[in-house]
Every structure is written in structure tokens, then in C-alpha cells.
Amino acid sequence: MTFRLKSCTSFLVLLSFTLTFGVQNATAQNKTSLSGDKVKIGVLTDMSGVFSDLSGTGSVLSAQMAIDDFKAKYNPTFPIELIYADHQNKPDVASAKAREWYDTQGVDMITDVINSGVAIAVSKIALDKKKVLMVTGSGSTRLHNEDCNPYSIHYGWDTRTFANAQVKALAEQGKKSWYFVSVDYALGQALEKDATEAIKESGGTVVGSVKHPLNSSDFSSYVLQAIASKAQVVAFANAGGDLINSVKAANEFGMKKNQTITGLVTSIIDVNSMGVELTQGMYLVEDYYWDIDDSTREFGRRFFIKQKRMPNFVHAALYSSVLTYLKGVQAAKTDSSEEVIKQMKKMPINDYFTKNGKIREDNKMIHDVYFFEVKKPSEVKSPWDYYILKKKISASDVSQSLASSKCSMVAK
């Protein structure tokens, strides 16, 4: 009997050790290996300047919503922290903050970086530090062409896609002569260049253009030149406060009587700020609108409860970028930049922002876009009900082809 008890005790000890080791081993296999003690995400945005309504506090909220949704659905084994800062639309300020975040604050991924000059500058820091940057605010195609690098993902909108979609859609309406009022920095230059190429491809002509400095207050002379051009389409190649002041001036001088107005980067925030009395009949392209389907409406309602306004395409893209990044970390079981990016490129992207997104070898995330017309005041049924969907345009129809890419990562 004594021998049997000892044998039984030994067996139970061995079984306990085996089970404990098995649980520990399984936990170790499921645990995410982090360079620090958490996954840390930084939103580097414009909190007080010309693009603050387009990004700003809405971008920070979108990032937090993505983190909360990820935690609720995927129950990650790693803690997640969110920080944010104002880059003041200054590339040197943004670069210094990005370097500080990557070097001393343990930030694994930076997102937003609205303002093309800021985004290009921060992408160079991401390359130097071998850390992830997911650009949702800037549309410069340089980010996935000449300035592409393995650590920077051009995730949101881009000037080529937006401009190409608008030109093609308006060409179908027989509108082929264009005049540009462009902001004189990287954004305006890229928008005008990409739209001009699309206009020529569609058999149209560019009658002329005029440039204005960033954050201008008086657009009367620029608008009068555009009216005098007699172009069928006047395209405002600017954004934020500059776009709003442009459209206000255009209405003051009666541009709509004989010309079509399009904002090459117009968001629902801009339309809401100006009101449908001023913007009715304008054409625009966005890659997110809150009233497209049940999914976009859900995100819109949740965002509105906290922000008291609907999200725009920058906010929706930022939500998606954070969610996709966290999924990449979980799939890779590490926050190693190379491994996370590898995992993100394997994933189909399907969320509030897009239903068929994909990160290509040039690190551009391609997705469908929408061509809208702003409603007349009599057609608006409720607050933020501003758009008539004219056409959904697939990414393959308007995105830059890999064959024409200038990115060094694309195999030729």
C-alpha cells in the first residue's frame, strides 16, 4: 500500500509539472515579443492650424476608437498606449518629434502626418530609425514613388487617385477645359500635376493656373483670374482653410453661373463649415462617406457621439491604419517593424474605411473611391446629409499602376 501511495504521489507530481509546463509553453507561444513593455502608437497631427479640422482631435479620437475596438474583439496579450502631438505644419518640428518618439519614447508606429512636407520629412526619419510610419493625412504621391521606403506606408488618400477620379468623371459629362487655383507647396503641386496628366489622357486641356501661399486670407484676385479664363472647370488644388476661403470667394464673384467648381481635396468637414448654400453643385471625391452603407453609418454615429460631427476620409483612414497595424502585430507576434509590415501586406483590409484594401509592394494601400455632388439645400434631409453619390470608382481604374511606379521597391 505504501509503495502504491508513493507511486501515485510521484505520478501526480509529474502530471502537475507536465500540465504546468504545457500551459507555460502555450502561453509563451502565444505571447507577443515586444521591444518595450507595450505597443505604443503616436498620432502626429495638426492640432491648431489650417488642417486641424481635417485631422486634429478627430484623428486622435479615431486612433483611440481603433484601439478600443481591437481590444474588445481580439483580446490582445500586449498593452497598447496612444500619444499625440501637434507638428504645427512645420517639417522640422515634425521630424524632431518623430525622432524623439522613436528614440526615447518607445513609439512603434506613427500615423496621420497631415501636410505633405511634414509626411515626406517624417518618412525619412522612419527609414533612418527603421520604424513604421502609416501616412493617412498626406496625399503626395512621392511617398509611394521617389520617396518610398520599406518602413513608410502610404495608407490613405493620394493626389493621383483623387485627381484622376474627378477628371475622368467630369470628362464623362463633357467637361474638358480646366483652370487651377493651387496652393504653392507640395500638396498643390502634386494635385495640379496629377490632374493635368489625367486631363491630357482624357483629351482635355488646361487653360491656365495660378498659385497662392499656404493659409491665404484673400482669394479675390485668384478667383477673378479663374473666371476670366472661361474654363469649364475650376479646380481648387488646396485643402482645409484655404479651400474654404477659395469657395467663399468663388461664390461672391458668381463663378457657378458659368463654371463647374471642384475641390480636389474636399472633405465633409469643409462642406459642413461652408454650408450647402455655398457648396451646392460642387463635385468632389472622397474615399469615405458616413452614409454609404450600414458599416460607414455605424462608424459615423459612434464618432459623432464623441466629436459632435461626422468623420471625414482622414479620420476613417486613420482608424483603419491603427486597426491594421495592431492586427499585424498580433499576427507577427512581435513589434518588429519588418515582421509587422510583412503581415500587414498579407492581409485583406476590410473595415469601416474600405472593403477591399490591399498594401502593394510600393507600400501604397489601394482602395476604391467615390465621386459625389453636393446636394441642394432642398435635398438635405438631416444634418450631415450632404452628398449625392454619382459613382463608385474602383482602385484599379484610378490608382497609379505598378508599371509606372518610380518606387525603388517595385520589381521592374
pLDDT tens per residue, range 152-183: 999 999 999 999 999 999 999 999 999 999 99
- Give me the percent of the chain exceeding a pLDDT of 90: 83
pLDDT tens per residue, range 44-74: 999 999 889 999 999 999 999 999 999 999 9
CB 316 within 8 A of CB 62: yes
- Average pLDDT of the chain is 92
Angle, helix 116-129 to helix 186-201, in steps of 10 degrees: 100
Q: Would the pLDDT of 211 be above 50? A: yes
What pLDDT was estimated at residue 132? 98
Give the C-alpha separation, 145 to 124, whole Å. Answer: 14
What pLDDT was estimated at residue 24? 45
If you average pLDDT over residues 383-387, what whole number do you get? 96
Q: Would the pLDDT of 80 be above 60? A: yes
pLDDT tens per residue, range 191-204: 899 999 999 999 99
Burial (CB count within 10 angstroms: exposed 0-12, middle 13-18, buried 19+), residue 348:
exposed
Listed in order, the ranges of the chain carrying CATH 3.40.50.2300 are 39-157+292-368, 160-289+369-398
The class that CATH gives domain 160-289+369-398 is alpha beta
Q: Is residue 283 helix, strand or coil? A: strand
Which stretches of 230-312 are DSSP H helices? 240-252, 268-274, 276-279, 294-307
pLDDT tens per residue, range 274-303: 999 999 999 999 999 999 999 999 999 999
Tell me, rounded to whole angstroms, the distance of Cα 319 from its chain centroid.
Answer: 9
Model confidence at 411, pLDDT cuts 50, 70, 90, reads confident
What pLDDT was estimated at residue 187? 84
Helix H or strand E segment including 329: helix 313-332
Contacts of 181 (CB under 8 A, 6+ apart): 209, 210, 212, 219, 222, 223, 226, 234, 235, 236, 237, 238, 246
> Between β-strands 369-374 and 132-135, what pairing exists: parallel, antiparallel or unpaired?
unpaired
What pLDDT was estimated at residue 7? 46
Contacts of 61 (CB under 8 A, 6+ apart): 303, 306, 307, 315
Model confidence at 36, pLDDT cuts 50, 70, 90, reads confident
Each residue of 175-205: b (16+ CB within 10 Å) or e? Answer: bbebbbbbbebbbbbbbbbbbbebbeeeebe
CB 265 within 8 A of CB 139: yes
CA angle 243, 313, 102 (to 5 degrees): 100
CATH placement of domain 39-157+292-368: 3.40.50.2300
